[in-house]
Structure 1
């Protein structure tokens, strides 16, 4: 009963992720003895350092090897978050702010003000079945959190994998869950020619890669098999997973062995982007330098010399994740010629990725969470100007307008879909149309482009894709959110297995972690509601619903998709 109460409480989000330890367990690795906690059937090792603290001269730098021995390291406490970027800024309609913030918190696990943040944050957190020891050779699920490259961390409740790990135990398919903390915002993704010359671009991606290398070196001591790693991410973590696929032109090896053998991407894939020293990212660097009073001969050294709170004040004077500017993100991975040799969409088209099995997931209403504060979007010209000024710096306005015209102005055709003319509270003209567009250009239709491109250039790569329509409740309907971006984090991490999408979703993913196929080995696979068809067969999506799963043809909004496909080289961020 005590165990059941704890699970229900976690599912309701009423406990912090760092539940008081019922016992302790130790694992010895080359850098020290890691002291973790044991809670029921799951053992947790939180905040294990995998690199030098990126402080002072190491701010912005690629992660450096850990230089000190950890000794007896206390991994029973909640891992610190990396310093966080701005969460929320509203330019209009301030009445929506509290409700929008609550929606954002559920989607990304928004840390509350004053949460434990630090630049000294490059850590890995491990969850494993209790009693597992070195030599068990369990498969490993390596998770990269989301949050718009601005916020998030391994210690926020929305990323708590306890129920997921417990499901593997209950189903007889135990696995190890490893989650990586990486630098976000200006700390991890500062752009500019100065950063490029310094060899410090895409530090956040390199943090993720360093975490994978730590797993390769150390996970066997925890009972994991470094040759059986599946990488998984959600939102910007999902975009990061694709970037890990194309990092170093697709070289995912370390000490001669692949760092991972499969990949899962939930709400994110290719993001077409300009180089790190292009005009838009350079303007961001210059803006931060001005805000920090660091203009001069060595602005980068000046930024490194700032106290963290002073740097944060300058680096975070940008739009928040939930804002008018929305998904026109300030900080994100960009080509630097070395880590990312070109835009991810170019690398995908050139086949510069390992041929590993891949799953791509999407939520039905990806754009609704990001359409609170645009205000009047009631005409094609207004939407065109919005996208032209914030999203696509290389596209002619006429091209952007053609793209907008591929989207219907009728309310019943917009997002949230299948809700007729209902727009939700705090609406404005064109809200459903802009929500459709935002969801497609970052998540839904770009996912289809990614799948089609991989299928064309790498026919041997196994591909599956899903579409979720499970999240309908009174609150989200009132707000006009539908199955919003981030609905899947609740399904995979918070709900108990009496919820149909949670048990089926976890089962598919556990099969995939074990066998590289969500349907599993026929002789070993776990029972699933319906067979998940490979995407290349008939371009069929597994359609998650609240009480049953089915199939959906991946051909909706084809006019908009065909435009993206034809003009993707111009539609870069």
Structure 2
């Protein structure tokens, strides 16, 4: 319901604007809309359409704009992978089914390969020379779904105006699944790994070239994302061994950090499957054959592969991996070697990240089944003693599982809360802490924990902080000030301290009369450190 509301709001306000507005890009006139408070330019192409012989190639910049560009409605969203949602038992709280079902419904915007477009939302009246800071949003969705039509960025701009810290909001599309994150040996050898991340990079180059036209300052760009978008922010910080190329000066990550990703060659079985399903397996040049295959055939093939709501959960074949070009090595090793952008950053997570992703493994009901699931899904080469130790750190006692702080409630199966605690920590909390432990003190860093907007049975699960940051809440205020001043403080809210690995603290967004509190970042510390060790030894 939360996601549906955000999607609906985004479409509603985008179509409610009444007056036209224009800007010039090269020799083109771009027509947008304005409601007198914010002005929107939607769906502006930032790269050549990646179709035909440009499919499965690096994004190509547009040399020069000409004619008229209608930027009054959202542009095409990239082709989405179909999500098959897990079956939710009838004895679950009804809010669980509604929450999960909303994820599988994309916004009512056409899907196409021709999808590399960007939205620019500015305070009404913004003009060249205003030098407004820029918040560049990268959407989430497991690198399989999502688009820049989902989040209502005008609320962020509106709120930034209200608090006297006006920002420009931009949001780009990037290719997904088989069109943007195909891996394997052939892809690696051709230098075509992580094309979706390359799309994001090209969009940031577009911002550098054109944002002054909209009143923005290309030297004040903050990249910002949630889930896969937050991971994308981390990967952009690690790209080219930490060289920002002057594209951004700060990063904000919600529910995503530096994941333990192995080499792109690990994805060879998935490449072979896509090639086989599209009739390209025996071709002399498989990649060229895939360029010539119908887009519908590629989508049908990728729809048969695992998603983040499948049994294997957060280990899917579409996560970014080290490709030797964009990401030169395992991202966590790059962090350890200091090959990361030296910029201020914020990284945070929700309290119960893993509950959503554990609904697809409700058939796991015993200790031995949990051990086998964790080993087979995440750590196939781990010695048995490591799996045993992990299960000791994440016991089956439901009072210690997620949703946290709920005692024995919501123990839908004997292992649900245990697996939810493990999966939430492995991909989100442990990767967050790893980045902070490695970099805080060397560069300005802050962290947060969101405990609000809880779903009965799931707690403060993945995505629940979005209603705050996109709804004009206190997180919006922190974000706008950070984009403007590289410091989220300055308002009436509780002071948000920088992160100190020797005495770690974070700000918690909580329910109740005191909505903000500073707490030690030490919960499940030993367990998280063990997960980091496992991930470094066996990147997924």
> Structure 1-normalised TM-score?
0.88
Aligned CA distance change for structure 1 residues 460 and 320 (closer, same or farther; 3 Å): closer
Look up the match of 2:181.
Answer: 189
1:251 pairs with one of 243, 258, 267: 243
1:540 deviates by: 0.6
Contact kept in structure 2, 1:364 and 1:469, CA below 8 Å: yes
Question: Matched residues in 1 for 2:113 and 2:295: separation?
Answer: 8
| CA distance, structure 2, for counterparts of residue 225 and residue 14 of structure 1 | 25
Who is 2:138 aligned against?
144
Bigger drift between 72-81 and 380-389 goes to 380-389
Which of these residues, 520, 525, 539, is aligned with residue 504 of structure 2? Answer: 539
> What CA distance in whole angstroms lies between the structure 2 residues aligned with 1:508 and 1:31?
38
Task: Select the residue among 242, 261, 266 that pairs with 2:234.
Answer: 242
Query: How far, CA to CA, are the matches of 1:153 and 1:464 in structure 2?
Result: 27
Candidates 468, 480, 502, aligned match of 1:491 = 468
Q: How does 1:119-130 map to 2 (within 5 A)?
A: 119-130=113-124
Following superposition, the deviation at residue 98 of structure 1 comes to 9.0
Partner of 1:466: 448
Unaligned segments of structure 1, at least 5 residues: 1-8, 520-524
Count of matched residue pairs:
532
- Please report how far the alpha carbon of residue 20 of structure 1 lies from its aligned counterpart in structure 2 after TM superposition: 3.5
Give how far 1:538 is off.
2.5
Change (3 A) 1:408 1:195: same
Corresponding position: 1:405 with 2:392: yes
Instruction: Give the drift of 1:44.
Output: 0.5
Between the aligned partners of 1:15 and 1:50, the Cα distance in structure 2 is 21
Equivalent in the alignment of 2:459: 482
**Where does residue 74 of structure 1 map in the other structure?**
70
Contact residue 361 and residue 465 of structure 1 kept, 8 A: yes
Q: Does the aligned pair in 2 maintain the 1:89–1:320 contact within 8 Å?
A: no
Name which of 257, 260, 263 aligns with 1:272: 260
Among 407, 420, 425, the alignment partner of 1:435 is 420
Equivalent of residue 53 in structure 1, options 17, 27, 49: 49
Superposed counterparts of 1:154-553, under 5 Å:
154-156=148-150, 159-253=151-245, 258-278=246-266, 281-296=267-282, 297-423=284-410, 427-455=412-440, 459-472=441-454, 476-477=455-456, 480-493=457-470, 495=471, 497=472, 502=473, 504-519=474-489, 525=490, 527-536=491-500, 538-547=503-512, 548-553=515-520
Q: Distance in 1 between matches of 2:113 and 2:304?
A: 18
Evaluate the alpha carbon distance shift between residue 448 and residue 219 of structure 1 in structure 2; reply closer, same or farther with a 3 A threshold: same
* Mapped contact 1:371–1:431 kept (Cα < 8 A): yes
1:470, CA displacement in angstroms? 1.2
Judged with a 3 Å threshold, the aligned counterparts in structure 2 of structure 1 residues 31 and 85 are, in CA distance, closer, same or farther, namely farther
Matches of 1:365 and 1:89, distance apart in 2: 19
TM-score, with structure 2 as normaliser:
0.94
> How many angstroms apart in 2 are the aligned matches of 1:453 and 1:350?
10
Whole-angstrom distance in 2 between the partners of 1:205 and 1:14: 24
- For each residue in 1:504-525, what CA deviation from the matched residue of structure 2 results, as whole angstroms up to 9, or x when unmatched? 2111111111111111xxxxx3
Shift of 1:173: 1.2
Matched with 2:526 is 559
> Does the CA-based 8 Å contact 1:190-1:201 persist in structure 2?
yes
**Worse overlay, 137-146 or 541-550:** 541-550
Indicate conservation of the 8 Å contact 1:230/1:513, yes or no: yes
Structure 2, unpaired ranges of 5+: none
Retained in 2: the 8 A contact 1:380–1:405? no
Q: 1:88 aligns with which of 63, 84, 90?
A: 84
**CA distance, structure 1, for counterparts of residue 27 and residue 320 of structure 2:** 30
CA contact (8 A) 2:349 2:449 kept: yes
Q: CA deviation at 1:229?
A: 0.5
Q: Does structure 1 retain, via aligned residues, the 8 Å contact 2:85–2:104?
A: no
Q: Distance in 1 between matches of 2:187 and 2:17?
A: 43
Aligned Cα RMSD in Å?
A: 2.2
In 2, Cα distance between the equivalents of 1:14 and 1:569? 39
Asked whether the 8 Å contact 1:104–1:110 carries over to 2, the reply is no
Q: How big is the shift at 1:396?
A: 3.4
In the other structure, the counterpart of 1:522 is: none
CA contact (8 A) 1:507 1:528 kept: no
Shift, 1:188, TM fit: 0.5
CA contact (8 A) 1:91 1:323 kept: no
- Distance in 2 separating the partners of 1:95 and 1:149: 31
Q: Which residue of 2 aligns with 1:5?
A: none
**Residues 376, 429 of structure 1: 8 Å contact kept:** no
Q: Against the structure 1 CA distance between its residues 88 and 207, is the aligned structure 2 distance closer, same or farther, given a 3 Å change threshold?
A: same
Kindly indicate whether the alpha-carbon contact (under 8 Å) linking 2:96 and 2:458 is maintained by their aligned counterparts in 1.
Answer: no
User: CA separation in 2, counterparts of 1:99 and 1:295?
Assistant: 44
Is the contact made by 1:88 and 1:101 (CA closer than 8 Å) also made in structure 2?
no
Determine if contact 2:82/2:104 at 8 Å carries over to the other structure.
no
